[in-house]
Structure 1
Amino acid sequence: MISEQHQLMASQANSGARMTRRNFLQQTAALGIGGSAALTLLNACGSPLASSGTHVTYWNLFGGGDGVRMVQMENNFSQSHPNINLEAVTLAWGAPYYTKLAMAAAGGRPPDVAISHMTRVPIYASENLLDPFDIDELARYGITEDKFLPAIWQRAHYNGKLYTIPLDTHPFVLYYNTDICQKAGLLNADGSLKPLNSPEVLMDAFKRAQQVTGPGTFGLAAEAQAITAWRLFYTLYSQLGGEVLSADGKTLTMDDTKAEQVLSFMADLTLKSKVASPFQDYAGAVALFGSGKAAFHWNGEWEVTTFLAQKDLHFNMAPFPQLYDTYRVQADSHAFILPHQLAVDPARRAGALEYISYMLKNSQNWAAGGHIPAYLPVTESDAYKQLKPQSNYASVAANAVLDPIAWFSGSGSELENQAGAAFQGVFTGAMTSTQALQQFKAALQKLLAIPAFN
């Protein structure tokens, strides 16, 4: 979260006051950040390296396969734009990244452009830690409203101003083993998965697949804790029309009946039907599906490269099924932001926009890692449609439901942590659906009582 010290730093930056090195170190000390760590952060946000061209600094949080792919795209940009010196910095995913980004913007030494999850943007914009994009200026780089889905473009705004340019949508999806599903009679004649359009039909499919794989296996491989528990709950709860928080993120609006209906279904997976393990962690779930000991897998689409690397694994991907009234799927978006600058350098801003434009127009490379490109000229291209299995779930982007807006919400947030802590008890039988829901609601009420941004 952004504390009162962060707000003070933002206030000084927005008032036009120059934050001195001494003031910066004093305020980071108040935040509990040691002197050496603060100096490291200060230096990371320091003056650009000497060069003959326009210098552009870019921060991101991508690791693993995403990190490798991002570096490839950065290198391609640099090779095709010798007049722009791109300095890319990768920081630790999650809270460390967002804390450093907030401090850099509040301290007046931010990067020229950075990546943020879309769910984090409204809070940073409300704290004046971001600069809005100039619509007319963006148009000169081919970035216009018609190049994005309406829902995605709308989410990119805060208080009527455009604060982010979406790069992708990364949803919760369904992986399935085609060999097992074929033997279980779950595939159509063309090899596609038959509709799984109700809780009963889905559970039956898991059981039939488990009969094929035999003793010691499961129909479904899914993490029974942490963030996956939240993604599953929020997907199904949203399909029932449920909302967790009010639009302003200040009031709990949980529908207990709908929430308990979803939690009861989740408990059925492990306790009654026993088609999934109640103690599965993330890595174990990935390994279980990859080894052919489970026919189905629920996860983010980013694990596609993991499974493609296993040549003996025959699998496909599909959108998460619609089990209830309205089709919704939990997701988030990686998006470009402009951290607040005390004084905008026109050349560096132009370089940042050129970089964003290049990454959007070349996001076919990014799509290979599983994410759905937000830039419609890419998602509507023949090249993307032929990218399999990644393009199979592209339609989900129009039905994505992002985590509710609150200072404690968003990808890698305390909301997701508290949901995982409560809901994993449903999988193991340690708590009833009612008990788990009450624990989650109590945790949210405590978070709502903290006046982080008031």
Structure 2
Amino acid sequence: MRSPHPSRRRVLAGSLSALATAGVLGPTAGCAAPSAAASGRTRIRFWHLFGGGDGVNMQTMLDAFRAARPDIELEATTLQWGAPYYTKLGMAGAGGRAPEVAALHMARLAGFGPGRLVDPFDPDLLAEAGVRPEDFPEDLWRRGQIDGRQYAVPLDTHPLVLYYQTDICRKAGLMDGKRLKPIGGAAEFTEALRAAKRVTGAAALVTETLGPDCITPWRLFSTFYSQTGGTVLTPDGKGLALDDAKALRVLEYMASLVDEGLWTRRADYGASVGIFNQGRTAFHLNGDWEVTTFRTGGTPFSMARVPALFGRATAQADSHAFVLPHQRGRDTGTDRAACAFVGWMLKNSVEWAAGGHVPAYRPVLADPAYLALDPQSAYRDVIDDVVLDEPAWFAGSASRMWIELGEVFSTLLTGSRTPREALSEAKRRLGRLLDTRNPLPGVAS
């Protein structure tokens, strides 16, 4: 997964009518798909949004699939990450001109009008491909269901994780052999940051705190707030459920680390990655996808789950999943080939895990090839403790909620809002989102 930073203009100002006028439903959106190519092979088309290191890993997997299944003619198309991808995919489904398979962030499923813009999988065809519910974390599998039908099959989960510099942490007395010592609670994390600062003389933690479409502050709040047991929205995603006391506890703690000089106050996404990659700070909180960047940089580092600072050992996450975009007349032959493709990708997802993501298919978690990935396999047990956004149309990766609340909590970290002011503004913006209709065509709010 590339750094999830879509342009604000693409998210908030790109209207569906303008996209239609620009021709996103033209030939590039997909024409009528025959169930078999002229060669006699079953043809399926796969749309995805993976660039950077993820794009390289995905291409390797797609090439391997083509070699393993010459009976299936696979056409793969990489589209622009974020809002442009989801708008185009939604409109293709609404127009019945969609590909046979596509990638979707699981937390965006509710906003994709299951039954309108995406179709359910046939459980018999999934079983035929070796895809069984018991091979996935129960909660993650359930998130792919709407009204008892399976609309999404998870490929991975990509949680917020803690990167740490092993040399600095060793000098600070924070290492236990090759791994970071367990950190139990907010007070212990503060002490760990202080110990690391004594070694470097600089702030011990760096994250993205500002910049266009700054979303990391939201992911940090979501992680820590989930550890208190709180939820942002009601379970159905239609109401506000923020607990003021729990949210303030988290926001005040976040602000205190910045105020004490333990957390770098001002860094955009690129700067935060660069500061850590240069070995100038001990800790970095980010998504798991920067592992390739840091391995290439050569600075000795490792990765761990985000410590349980507020009780529960949860971490904010999303999940790349496979879906069947809506088609007016589904064909059993292409559906069978699509399920075979999904099953093969799941069973061969060690290559995908090299990019940092935790495989959702449990048998891969025990694969010796996956266990040999270091540090990627070190935080694999987080798979049972990830927290996805509640099911709302405006939630999930590259969503309006991430950008709106990322901006709010950015102002907390940079010092222009107090914790109470940030909480008040976050609630105001969530209320506005809850009152706004889903803009995708054919989807009821």
In the other structure, the counterpart of 1:161 is 149
Q: Are residue 297 (structure 1) and residue 319 (structure 2) matched? A: no
For the 8 Å contact 2:185–2:311, the answer to whether it is kept is no
Structure number with greater CO (CA < 8 Å, separation at least 6) is 2
Residue type of the alignment partner of 1:270: V
**Partner residue of 1:318 out of 276, 293, 304:** 304
How far the C-alpha of 1:34 sits from its partner, in A, is 5.5
1 CA distance for matches of 2:209 and 2:186? 18
For the 8 Å contact 2:215–2:407, the answer to whether it is kept is no
1 CA distance for matches of 2:433 and 2:163? 35
In the other structure, the counterpart of 2:180 is 193
Residues 8-407 of structure 1: pairs in structure 2 closer than 5 A: 31-33=17-19, 35-38=21-24, 41-48=26-33, 51-52=38-39, 53-126=41-114, 128-188=116-176, 190-214=177-201, 217-225=202-210, 226-271=214-259, 273-311=260-298, 313-407=299-393
Q: 1:111 to 1:209 in 2, by over 3 A?
A: same
Percent sequence identity is: 46
1:33 aligned counterpart, secondary structure: helix
Q: TM-score, normalised to structure 2's length?
A: 0.91
2 CA distance for matches of 1:244 and 1:116? 22
How far the C-alpha of 1:389 sits from its partner, in A, is 0.4
In the other structure, the counterpart of 1:4 is none
2:180 aligned counterpart, secondary structure: coil
For the 8 Å contact 1:54–1:85, the answer to whether it is kept is yes
Q: 1:146 to 1:236 in 2, by over 3 A?
A: same
1 CA distance for matches of 2:110 and 2:404? 21
Once the two structures are superposed, residues 143-178 of structure 1 have per-residue CA deviations (whole angstroms, 9 ceiling, x without a partner) of 011211112221121111111111001000001100
How far the C-alpha of 1:383 sits from its partner, in A, is 2.0
How far the C-alpha of 1:43 sits from its partner, in A, is 3.7
For the 8 Å contact 1:330–1:402, the answer to whether it is kept is yes
How far the C-alpha of 1:301 sits from its partner, in A, is 0.6
1:410 aligned counterpart, secondary structure: coil
Residue type of the alignment partner of 1:191: K
How far the C-alpha of 1:392 sits from its partner, in A, is 0.6
Residue type of the alignment partner of 1:303: E
2:56 aligned counterpart, secondary structure: helix
For the 8 Å contact 1:125–1:158, the answer to whether it is kept is no
In the other structure, the counterpart of 1:3 is none
How far the C-alpha of 1:127 sits from its partner, in A, is 5.7
2 CA distance for matches of 1:354 and 1:57? 13
For the 8 Å contact 1:319–1:396, the answer to whether it is kept is yes
2 CA distance for matches of 1:137 and 1:81? 17
Once the two structures are superposed, residues 235-292 of structure 1 have per-residue CA deviations (whole angstroms, 9 ceiling, x without a partner) of 1111111111111222111111111111111111211x11122111111111001001
1:443 aligned counterpart, secondary structure: helix
Residue type of the alignment partner of 1:79: A
Residue type of the alignment partner of 1:44: A
In the other structure, the counterpart of 1:12 is none
For the 8 Å contact 2:206–2:272, the answer to whether it is kept is yes
Q: Which runs of 5+ in 1 are unaligned?
A: 1-27
1 CA distance for matches of 2:414 and 2:375? 33
1:218 aligned counterpart, secondary structure: coil
